[in-house]
Structure 1
Amino acid sequence: MNALRQALPRAVALIVLAASLTACGFHLRGSDGRFNMPFQSIYLAFPETSPLGTELKRNLRGGDTRVVAEADQAQARFDVLSESRGKAILSLNSQGRVREYLLTYTLVFRVRDAAGAELLGPTEISLKRSITFNETELLAKESEEALLYRDMQTDLVQQILRRLAAIKPV
């Protein structure tokens, strides 16, 4: 009973502290997925079937920026210079079989305004993830690899959004 009397004030103080921190409205800039873009419309030069382009469009449409279908209607043009995925052997076991792979996802892009002037010069974003490999778990490792590529794609979209939001209009 005595221990309960000592613990009760601590628990109440902890609850009050947690409530005051959540009530203050503090959050990291961009942590809610919304970014203030320096332009109202953008054209994305991705193929229609590009999963990266689709995710970027979805994230941009969540904010105040319109994604337009024609380049001449946009205030900004996002040009994809190159996009590549790679898989390289990272390490081998004592029998000479693959133990780890290194997965890479690289995007090089630039952003121009409606007049063709560069707002953001050629920029490369390269992401890397390592994955262990076991030939007895082939199907599980293939799905893990696909999951890692999807995770890298989401990370890539967030990095692109941060770079777009940081553009200073001329």
Structure 2
Amino acid sequence: MSSSDTRRRLLAGAGALAVSALASCGFQRRQPPVLAFRSIALTGFAPDSPLAEELRRGLARSVQVLDDPARAEVVLQASTDQREKSVVASTSAAQVREFQLRLKFDFAARTPGGRELIAPVALLLSRDMSYSEAAALAKQQEEAELYREMQSDVVAQVLRRLAAVRL
């Protein structure tokens, strides 16, 4: 047996060992939360709310999302779905140097009969973003990406809270 054959066998053995170690470590992709109900209705959102659309997509993986709250097992009532942007820092010449982006979402969940399943919850996420007039277009894209990330985080938090609901 040549030294190259020995090296190949050692590498193959090391590769097999690495694969078996990964398989036995319990690594698993994050799964959507398991919900204890079969249907939900979303109410209180603006007609073109991006948060409502992402929430609808996230819920549709596990349950049926209905338009009629009277037919749903659970009704998710949004009271606030708001994006805000404020100046945090500026130069002495009044040029903006930093913004704070905020996403506020207040909601509650109940049965169609009115029994409270989740008491009113207020979620507030914020991100700071530097700003430069020279890179205005890039900063506009960065702002949109930060809002999308905050929105995804809110959807994940809502889904986790809904997973704790027991009818």
TM-score of Structure 1 vs Structure 2, range by shorter chain? 0.7 to 0.9
Aligned 1:5-154 pairs, distance under 5 A: 9=10, 11-12=11-12, 14-24=14-24, 26-27=27-28, 31-32=30-31, 34-45=32-43, 46-63=45-62, 65-93=63-91, 95-154=93-152
Deviation at 1:8, TM superposition (A): 7.5
Deviation at 1:141, TM superposition (A): 0.9
The 2-side partners of 1:62 and 1:21 are apart by 31
Moved more, 81-90 or 103-112: 81-90
Q: Which runs of 5+ in 2 are unaligned?
A: none
Kindly report structure 1 stretches of 4+ aligned residues shifted beyond 6 Å.
5-8
What SS does structure 1 have at the residue aligned with 2:165? coil
Q: Deviations over 1:86-143 (max 9, x none)?
A: 1112223454422111100010000001221110000011111111100111111111
Q: Deviations over 1:34-65 (max 9, x none)?
A: 221121110011333221111111111112x1
What SS does structure 1 have at the residue aligned with 2:55? helix
What SS does structure 1 have at the residue aligned with 2:52? helix
What SS does structure 1 have at the residue aligned with 2:47? coil
Q: Which runs of 5+ in 1 are unaligned?
A: none
TM normalised by structure 1 equals 0.83
Q: Deviations over 1:67-87 (max 9, x none)?
A: 111010000000001111111
Q: Cα RMSD over matched residues?
A: 2.6
Q: May I ask how many residue pairs the two structures share in their alignment?
A: 164
The 2-side partners of 1:168 and 1:66 are apart by 17
The 2-side partners of 1:153 and 1:93 are apart by 30
Q: 1:16 to 1:141 in 2, by over 3 A?
A: same
What SS does structure 2 have at the residue aligned with 1:67? strand
- The one-letter amino acid paired with 2:51 is L
Q: 1:13 to 1:104 in 2, by over 3 A?
A: farther
Deviation at 1:7, TM superposition (A): 10
TM normalised by structure 2 equals 0.85
The 2-side partners of 1:92 and 1:6 are apart by 62
